Amino acid sequence: MKLNRSLIAFTAIAALGVTALAGCSAGGGDDKPAAGAALTIAKPDGAITTESHNPYLGDSSASKYGYGKVIFEPLALVNPTGDLKTTPWLAESVEWNADYTQLTVVPRAGVKWSDGEDFTADDIVFTFSMYIDGTLNDTSALNLESVTAEGDSVVLTFAESKFTAQARVLHTPIVPEHIWKDIADPNSDPLTDEGLAVGTGPYVLDNWTTESVTLTANDDYWGGELAVPELHYVSYGDNAALTTALVSGEADWAQAFIPQIEDSYLAADEDNHFLASPTAGAGTLFMNLQTKPFDDPALRQAIAWTVDRQAYVDVAREGASTPIWNVTGLGDLLADEIAPEFEDAVYSVDVDKAKQILTDAGYTWKDDKLIDPDGTAVSFSISVPAGWSDWNTEQALLAEELGEGLGIDVKVDQPDWGGWDAARQEGSFQMIIHWLEDTGNAYGLYTSTMDPKWVVDGKAQFNFGRYDNPAVTEALDTYANTSSDEERAAAVAVLEKAFATDVPAIPLGSHPLLGEFNTRSYEGWPSEDDQYASADPTQPAVVQILTKLTAK
């Protein structure tokens, strides 16, 4: 899963903080607002100057602020954390066939669009038909072949298995046919004309400005009465301004990585809370397997036995992650997919073991510097864009761990985004820290690190090290497409063995979804003990949280 860089970019940019919404937000300190207070949801992305309520456009204000997700709803919510389960939403039920090439959904009865029209199966058929006829760009690679209404159900048939892409299908925003059939170009229309921003969601658009967006509760919402009467979406110039707003009570709910969060946010008010929810993705060391020094698996193995994952979690991520020690690269959330032979196969910080691996492979040391079998001192650079503070911190930790432990000269490289992006795609880097494609299962790790499909015309979107093993490629295909649980288990065993043996990449810690919120007015939030969703208000499950909140 690609990380939202607002989670990890702390370096202050020009402060663009917006004016507080007087009387709209919960107050700080000992001020206890009355029940029924509005919630202000904040981001640190600066002012958004272009109005667009189109849920299919990644750069629309509805997508960037996040308010599109409380207007337009999906068929179901796939939890990326906790129990990873699927909760039917606009559908009363969702059922996949054995090989996940066909999805049958039963539309929820009694749902109305916010303009009063009935929601029906035809709206689902219309929404997905736009992908088939080319009206809407298939940016999620659904590869849908047909969608038809059959009795009380809607049946969607795909060109290939969607076992590893269930969330992409189920999280598709459903839109009203009676409005969208007259939209000439759904790929560009901003939906700013009167009466176009119509959804089934718990909130409806009330007012839009470049400083804030106001939504009010949908009185006819199918999910029942809402405790929160009004939402305000605000964007601040950077994390520092956002933190100040959260501490003062000017903002109530956000998704951000806040440095020294205990002192800077949690200690300010006992009602301030922070939840880091692990996902199946991970912050991962990618190495260029095509060139020295990482073309030698012995060096990769030695590094895997030297890197301190707990330090990554405690120091670089300030506790907002969980370490990944298993040699398969799978974290705790996917422990049930680890083959029995690897259940207890875990790395530790064992420099002596790492040195023995290197010695057996012909490495030596001279003046405490690691020398490869060709007589060359081992040195490489690790690259992360400047300003990605958690990973910048991890760069320094790795340089120290590998320098002191193995005698490797690690150069810290912090280019701008453009240079880093070009190097990772073209394969001109040596080591980078990157995220994984999060599919909610083991496939995400292994396709991200070992699948040749990601390298097209010499440029990589994942598998940046360009690992290529026909047996692994076959196992990836089997995992994604088989209808047999036994075949999928056999395939993942092949993937795990290759990953543990070849060490094509080194996962450090789980990628968390983060949420800061206060409980001054409402309870029912996700918690460590009840992760029915993450607390990130930019995720599809924001609608689930808002239906669970109750006034204190």
Same domain, 261 and 390: no
pLDDT at 279: 95
CB 304 within 8 A of CB 347: yes
Tell which residue, 242, 254, 251, 252, has the closest CA to residue 16: 242
Q: Would residue 43 count as lying in a domain?
A: yes
DSSP state of 430: S
**CA separation for the pair 110, 119 (Å, rounded):** 8
pLDDT at 437: 92
Structural domain including 174 reads 72-183
Same domain, 150 and 285: no
Structure tokens, 397: 């930790």
pLDDT band at 170 (very low <50, low <70, confident <90, very high): very high
**CA separation for the pair 255, 258 (Å, rounded):** 9
pLDDT at 259: 85
**CA separation for the pair 485, 45 (Å, rounded):** 43
CB 544 within 8 A of CB 282: no
Same domain, 46 and 110: no
pLDDT at 46: 85
Q: pLDDT tens digit string along 311-355?
A: 999 999 999 999 999 999 999 999 999 999 999 999 999 999 999
Same domain, 318 and 401: yes
When pLDDT is averaged across residues 80-105 and rounded to a whole number, the result is 97
Q: What are phi and psi of 354, to 5 degrees?
A: -60, -45
Please give the tally of structural domains in the chain. 3
Structure tokens, 185: 């170009």
When pLDDT is averaged across residues 284-306 and rounded to a whole number, the result is 98
Tell which residue, 118, 281, 93, has the closest CA to residue 170: 93
Q: Would residue 196 count as lying in a domain?
A: no
Tell which residue, 27, 50, 326, has the closest CA to residue 188: 50
Average pLDDT, the chain: 92
**CA separation for the pair 176, 323 (Å, rounded):** 44
For 359-400, give the DSSP string: HHTT-EEETTEEE-TTS-B-EEEEE--TTBHHHHHHHHHHHH
- CATH of residue 400: 3.10.105.10
**CA separation for the pair 266, 275 (Å, rounded):** 11
Same domain, 60 and 78: no
When pLDDT is averaged across residues 240-260 and rounded to a whole number, the result is 93
- The answer, yes or no, to whether residue 129 has pLDDT greater than 50, is yes
- CATH of residue 158: 3.90.76.10
Q: pLDDT tens digit string along 8-19?
A: 333 332 333 333
Same domain, 222 and 358: no
- The answer, yes or no, to whether residue 34 has pLDDT greater than 50, is no
* Helix (H), strand (E) at residue 432: strand 431-434
Same domain, 335 and 480: yes
CB 516 within 8 A of CB 6: no
DSSP state of 524: -
Angle at which helices 470-481 and 443-450 pack, to 10 degrees?
Answer: 150
Length of the chain: 552
Same domain, 238 and 285: no
Which of 119, 152, 183 terminates a domain? The answer is 183
State what percent of residues in the chain have pLDDT above 70: 94
- The answer, yes or no, to whether residue 3 has pLDDT greater than 70, is no
Which of 125, 155, 183 terminates a domain? The answer is 183
**CA separation for the pair 254, 43 (Å, rounded):** 6
pLDDT at 5: 30
Same domain, 61 and 76: no
**CA separation for the pair 113, 205 (Å, rounded):** 13
Same domain, 390 and 242: no
**CA separation for the pair 413, 384 (Å, rounded):** 7
Q: pLDDT tens digit string along 40-62?
A: 999 988 888 899 999 999 889 99
Q: Would residue 21 count as lying in a domain?
A: no
Determine which of 35-49, 173-187, 288-302, 470-484 has the lowest per-residue pLDDT on average.
35-49
Dmax (CA) for the chain in angstroms is: 78
Q: Would residue 234 count as lying in a domain?
A: yes
Q: Would residue 395 count as lying in a domain?
A: yes
Q: How many CB atoms lie within 10 A of CB 550?
A: 11
- CATH of residue 534: 3.40.190.10
**CA separation for the pair 376, 112 (Å, rounded):** 70
Q: pLDDT tens digit string along 192-216?
A: 999 999 999 999 999 999 989 999 9
Q: pLDDT tens digit string along 403-460?
A: 999 999 999 999 999 999 999 999 999 999 999 999 999 999 999 999 999 999 999 9
CB 414 within 8 A of CB 392: yes
Q: pLDDT tens digit string along 373-405?
A: 999 999 999 999 998 989 999 999 999 999 999
**CA separation for the pair 152, 156 (Å, rounded):** 14
Q: What are phi and psi of 259, to 5 degrees?
A: -60, 145
For 196-227, give the DSSP string: ----SSSEEEEEE-SSEEEEEE-TT-TT---S
Same domain, 141 and 238: no
